[in-house]
Amino acid sequence: HVQLVESGGGLVQAGGSLNLSCAATGKTNVLNCMGWFRQIPGKEREGVAAINIGGGSTVYADSVKGRFTISQGNAKNTVYLQMNSLKPEDTAMYYCAADTYGGSWPRERPEYALGLDWYNFWGQGTQVTVS
């Protein structure tokens, strides 16, 4: 099993920045991909960004390209989401997700790594509010 803990959410003005962190503990040696998702009440959870642990390949939702950056820490069991130029529509609960299924990074269709089904472990979420 893998446990995920997010941090770094908060209230920020439009145009501002936040840096979310996700720390993974447990069987982190089998981490394949990690991703960030967000959800607002009454809507489906949507993929924001994902990264191939160790390989470094990334994918982003169109709505955040050029503004958000996903990266991994030196220990590879921590993933960050640097969010710049935040907009009110970025307001949501942000969730970290981990994949230990062991499949390869979907090079031909990287957007698959933004799908809910790609992941088998989830954090509790951290709230981001942009005013």
pLDDT (tens digit, 9 = 90+) per residue, 4-58? Answer: 999 999 999 999 999 999 999 998 888 889 999 999 999 999 999 999 998 889 9
Would you state the structure tokens that stand for residue 39, as one six-digit string? 């959800």
Burial of 31: CB neighbours in 10 Å, binned 0-12, 13-18, 19+: buried
What's the Rg (C-alpha) of the chain?
Answer: 14
pLDDT per residue over 99-108, tens digit each?
998 778 888 9
- The amino acid occupying position 11 is L
Contact criterion met (CB below 8 Å) for 53 and 75: no
Task: Single out the residue of 25, 31, 23, 36 nearest to residue 97, CA to CA.
Answer: 36
Strand bridging mode 121-122 / 2-7 = unpaired
